[in-house]
C-alpha cells in the first residue's frame, strides 16, 4: 500500500514548481488531490497538474484560487469535501518572492510589495489552516486515529538572514512561527502541523540564476551538497510529513536545503 492511500489532499500553488511536484508525488502515493492555483496553465507547454495526475491513473481536480481571499479559501476546502467526502492533508505552498522587484535594503523597500508579500505568503497560510482545521475537527478521524496533516512550505529565509529580502523573510518567519503555535494548539486533537523550509530549489523562478555561471558558482559554494536542489526533494519530505511515518512528529520547522543553514 502506498503511504497516502485514501487520503484527500489540497495543494496550493500546484500548477508549477514545488507545488506541482508535491501534487504529483501525493497522487503517486495514493492521495486524491485537489489542485489549487491562480492559473491552470502557468507555462504554455505544461500539462495542467490535475490532468497529469489523471494520466498516471490518479484522482485529481482543479480549482482556481486566490489564496489570500477568505471566501475562495473557504470554498476550496468545501470543494475537497464535496468531491471526496473529507479533507486529510493541506499543503500551504502558494507564495510569491519579490513580485518583480529587485532585492533592496529595508529603507528602500516598496510598501506595496510588503503588503502583497504578507498577504500572499502569510495571510494565505492563516486562512488555509483556519478552514482546514475546522473541517478536520468536525469529520471522523482517519483510520490511523489522527485527524489531519498540515504541511506549510516556509523557507530557509525564516531561519537565517539572506541579504535584502526583508518582506519575504518576514512573511516566511510568520509561517514558521504560526506552524509551531498551531502544532501546540491542535496537538491534543491529533492534527499534525509541520513546515518545510526549502533552500534554493530549481524552479521556474530560479532558472535564470541557475544557468548564470557566476550565480551557479555562488550556489555551489553556499551549499555543502553543491548547486541547487530539485522540487522533488521537497516533495519527498512533504510525503513523509503527511504520512504515518510522522506519527510522532508535529511542530517541526525542517530545512531541506542541501546544508545551506549549517553555515
Active site (catalytic) residues? 168
Which DSSP helix (H) or strand (E) runs through 96? none
Distance CA 47, CA 135 (A): 31
Distance CA 53, CA 225 (A): 31
Following DSSP, what letter does each residue of 42-69 receive, concatenated?
SSTTSPPHHHHHHHTT--EEEEE--TT-
Distance CA 76, CA 131 (A): 9
C-alpha cell at 152: 506549510
Burial group, residue 214, by CB count within 10 angstroms (0-12, 13-18, 19+): exposed
Q: Which residue is associated with the grid cell 510598501? A: 111
Amino acid at each position: 500500500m502506498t503511504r497516502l492511500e485514501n487520503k484527500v489532499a489540497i495543494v496550493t500553488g500546484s500548477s508549477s514548481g514545488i507545488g506541482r511536484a508535491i501534487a504529483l508525488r501525493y497522487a503517486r502515493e495514493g492521495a486524491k488531490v485537489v489542485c489549487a492555483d491562480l492559473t491552470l496553465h502557468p507555462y504554455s507547454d505544461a500539462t495542467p497538474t490535475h490532468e497529469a495526475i489523471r494520466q498516471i491513473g490518479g484522482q485529481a481536480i482543479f480549482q482556481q484560487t486566490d489564496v489570500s481571499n477568505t471566501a475562495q479559501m473557504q470554498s476550496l476546502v468545501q470543494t475537497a469535501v464535496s468531491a471526496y467526502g473529507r479533507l486529510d492533508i493541506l499543503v500551504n505552498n502558494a507564495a510569491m518572492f519579490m513580485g518583480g522587484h529587485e532585492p533592496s535594503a529595508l529603507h528602500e523597500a516598496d510598501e506595496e510589495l510588503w503588503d502583497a508579500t504578507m498577504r500572499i505568503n502569510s495571510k494565505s497560510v492563516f486562512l488555509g489552516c483556519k478552514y482546514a482545521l475546522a473541517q478536520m475537527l468536525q469529520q471522523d478521524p482517519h483510520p490511523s486515529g489522527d485527524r489531519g496533516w498540515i504541511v506549510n512550505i516556509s523557507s530557509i529565509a525564516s531561519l537565517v538572514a539572506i541579504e535584502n529580502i526583508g518582506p519575504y523573510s518576514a512573511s516566511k518567519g510568520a509561517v514558521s512561527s504560526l506552524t509551531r503555535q498551531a502544532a501546540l494548539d491542535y496537538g491534543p486533537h491529533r492534527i499534525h502541523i509541520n513546515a518545510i523550509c526549502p533552500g534554493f530549489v530549481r524552479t521556474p523562478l530560479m532558472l535564470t540564476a541557475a544557468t548564470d555561471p557566476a550565480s551557479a558558482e555562488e550556489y555551489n559554494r553556499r551549499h555543502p551538497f553543491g548547486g541547487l536542489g530539485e522540487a522533488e526533494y521537497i516533495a519527498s519530505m512533504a510525503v513523509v510529513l503527511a504520512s504515518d511515518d510522522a506519527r510522532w512528529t508535529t511542530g517541526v520547522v525542517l530545512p531541506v536545503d542541501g546544508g545551506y543553514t549549517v553555515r
